[in-house]
Amino acid sequence: AQKITQTQPGMFVQEKEAVTLDCTYDTSDQSYGLFWYKQPSSGEMIFLIYQGSYDEQNATEGRYSLNFQKARKSANLVISASQLGDSAMYFCAMRERLYNQGGKLIFGQGTELSVKP
């Protein structure tokens, strides 16, 4: 069975500094996808970044980048130049491959990030 582990329940970072949120995963599939979502206190789940298992380069989206280490089964999210608006819950998720049944997401427990001014 697929599993996502986020070992940091909460983290603090100083404004303008970089922060890394950890995510490890377990799967027997050769082909899989990993997603990171941000959830502010308002509730909306915001898609941040995607990494495919066959992607040769680490994904980047603006200030977000993914440190993907396939052999270690880790997909850590790096946020550069933290802003106060980055304070939120962050979830790492893996998509379970289902044929014509939609894509079931397996979520980690989340990391609550607080950015200090």
Partner 1 sequence: DTEVTQTPKHLVMGMTNKKSLKCEQHMGHRAMYWYKQKAKKPPELMFVYSYEKLSINESVPSRFSPECPNSSLLNLHLHALQPEDSALYLCASSQEGQDNQPQHFGDGTRLSIL
Contact positions toward partner 1, by CB under 8 A?
A: 31-33, 35, 37, 42-47, 50, 52, 89, 91, 95, 97-98, 100-105, 107-110, 112
d(CA 83, CA 42): 17
Give the residue with the Cβ less far from partner 1, 64 or 107: 107
Report, in Å, the least distance between residue 79 CB and partner 1.
18
- Comparing C-alpha atoms, which of 51, 35, 7 is closest to residue 93? 35
Between 12 and 47, CB nearer to partner 1:
47
- Least separation in angstroms between CB 95 and partner 1: 6
Torsion angle, alpha carbons of 95, 98, 101, 103, to 10: 10
Q: Quick one: 19 or 110, whose CB is closer to partner 1?
A: 110
For residues 83 and 55, give the distance between their C-alpha atoms in angstroms, rounded to a whole number.
29
Half-sphere exposure of 67 (CA within 13 A, CB side): 13
Nearest-approach distance from CB 53 to partner 1, in angstroms: 10
